[in-house]
Amino acid sequence: MSINDSIEQLVSDQRRFFKSGVTRDIHFRMEQLNKLKTALIAKEDEIIKALQQDLNKSEQESFTTEIGIVYKELSYVMKNLHKWAKPRRVKTALTHIGSRGEIHPEPYGTVLIISPWNYPWQLAISPLIGAIAAGNTAIIKPSELTPSVSALITSMIKDTFSDQYVAVVEGGPDTSTSLLKQPLDYIFFTGSTNIGKVVMQAAAKNLIPITLELGGKSPCIVHKDAPLKLAARRIVFGKFTNAGQTCVAPDYLLVHESIKEPLLKHMKEAITEFYGDSPLMNSEYGRIVSEKHFLRLSNFLSNGSLRHGGKCDASKLLIEPTLLDDITWEMPVMEDEIFGPIFPILTYDHLDEVITSVNNRPKPLALYLFTQDSQVQRKVLSEVSFGGGCVNDTLMHLATPHLPFGGVGESGMGSYHGKHSFETFSHMKSILRQTNKFDFSFRYPGKEGLKLLRRLMKP
């Protein structure tokens, strides 16, 4: 059987299983989430090992950014699922006296989750939690660039669920193309903007609803009143975690001219504190995922002037945490999302310059602002559009199930995490329950009814 035939059969089997109604039962969903929880706990050591093999992630980084986030997401969803899944009553309009409006969450059906390589565990399993909680069947397509993690996801899912309920399909772009041709009910994609456009075009052919979690050049703005040492530690953490291969990593630094030098001094100190004097020799420093990405990133090192780092090891696909100064907007490093441990630095004198510069470019997935001035905070947050972000921190908005996570414009559409994951994978069905105890004549044709409707409905 060809890959196309096997994928077609898998989707058919999942659609048939969904139509049986089994997945709609809340108790069934809770049982499956419990099974997933048990499997995750049992596989924790193997997850850490696989992440180390594919990306050289340390145990601390693996647990913090991949495993712990999934645990927290799962616990929060299981705690609240019964409440979220109940029909919700809404207000009744004056013209609808006697009726009752309700919103009924219902699953879409068979969903496809296409996950990326940079956080290959978290970004596959976290959406799956939402899909299961909402009552769907699911197919996961993990990245071929992280084969150890992909193989582990495959084995864990196969040992935990039947293929007709949750399945994993490994492979490269051809496999994704085959999956996208299927009569799916929902697509959840995490990856680059360019591939996101391809996914959206494929979904549009069959009018399949979609969530796109993309990327973009996320700015980090440091105003003149920021506490520099603390800001430096939080910026370095956000930028160089996973060797900068994070969709919400600060992509470039916009620092007030008056504090540039002291901030850079503190950032250099933080880099040394976190990764040592020789990061390329640090066994727990992350590597670049592939030779192709390594070559793309290493070409940026000639942009501007080097202020820190810059050394590479092509044999190990390592690039030091690097600070680039004297950067202009026209340089190649400022064209697209960097997605690596290279941090270009620009300066500003007036806040309006920053707002104009950011707004002249595609809307970023994240924005980070360091300032203690509440007026500056209000101005930036109200005048710049971005997916989400932090004031006086980086990355941490991603790690809470209480906030929706997603992009806007070219950085994506739709959001998830916590209740928002449940809602993403649910159709909110509107129901009006009408009374039979009486009937209003004004709803029917006639001049008297029109007069009354005008009085009731005109603003």
- On whether the CB atoms of residues 310 and 301 are closer than 8 A, the answer is yes
**Number of Cβ within a 10 Å radius of residue 400:** 14
CA neighbor of 161 nearest in space, from 341, 5, 76, 40: 40
Which of 66, 73, 220, 247 is catalytic? The answer is 247
Segments of 328-410 assigned E as strands: 342-348, 366-370, 388-391
Instruction: Give DSSP secondary structure letters for 64-118.
Output: IIIIHHHHHHHHHHHHHHHHHHS-EEE---GGGTT-EEEEEEEE-SEEEEE--SS
In whole angstroms, give the CA distance from residue 225 to residue 384: 20
Q: How far apart are the C-alpha atoms of 11 and 27, rounded to whole Å?
A: 24
Give CA torsion, residues 376, 379, 382, 386, to 10 deg. -60
Active-site entry in 66, 213, 337, 423: 213
Query: Does 410 qualify as catalytic in the annotation?
Result: no
Is there a contact between 286 and 297 (Cβ–Cβ < 8 Å)? no
Q: How many CB atoms lie within 10 A of CB 392?
A: 15
Structure tokens at 151: 């193989």
Cβ contact 243:288 at 8 Å = yes
DSSP helix/strand/coil, 399 = helix
Q: Which residue has the tokens 């979220």?
A: 84
- Residue 227: half-sphere exposure toward Cβ, Cα within 13 Å: 7
How is residue 193 written in tokens? 């903007």
- Catalytic residue status for 269: no
What does the DSSP 8-state code read for residue 63? I
Amino acid at the residue 24: R
In contact, 176 and 150? CB cutoff 8 Å: no
Q: Looking at the annotation, which residues are catalytic?
A: 213, 247
